[in-house]
Amino acid sequence: MNIASFIQPKAEVSYLRDNMTLHQGLRKLRESGYTAIPVIDREDRYVGVASEGDFLWSIMGHVEYQEEMDWNELEHRTVRDIIQGGKLLPVRIDTSMEQLLEQVKQQNFVPVVDDRNVFIGIVTRRDVITYFVKNHPLR
């Protein structure tokens, strides 16, 4: 089974650009209502995921070296500066449902990319669980 029918397309998904300032990224993350969202570059290639924790630890790390936070610093650093690229590995559209299941056991959503690593959307844990419940009912 192909995972294409489960993909929430990029047009319907919240994501950040890696060149956004921390302030812009944090605002968009907050508006999304999620705790983590994909990050893409200017060519729409997937580069990682930014989470609330990434923002928090970045700010706290900065404060650790100074007496107080200079909030203007949020305008001079970018989302790319804080993301952990290998944190959530993407899958391709030809990924099997079994492989997808293994990934959603570890994360709430899985980024989906094409063969050029261009971000095309996400598959959520909820969608994968729903598929398996319908097609492999518990006895």
Confidence bin at 86 (pLDDT 50/70/90): low
- pLDDT at residue 58, rounded to an integer: 81
Q: What is the pLDDT of residues 20-48, one digit of tens each?
A: 999 899 999 999 999 999 999 999 999 99
Mean pLDDT over residues 1-14, rounded?
88
Strand order through the sheet with 91-92:
8-9, 119-124, 109-113, 91-92
Tally Cβ neighbours within 10 Å of residue 44: 16
Nearest by Cα to 56 from 95, 94, 25: 25
CATH topology of domain 3-135: CBS-domain (3.10.580)
Q: Please report, for the chain, the start and end positions of each structural domain, with discontinuous segments joined by +.
A: 3-135
- pLDDT at residue 115, rounded to an integer: 93
Tally Cβ neighbours within 10 Å of residue 63: 13
Mean pLDDT over residues 96-114, rounded?
89
- Whole-model pTM: value is 0.85
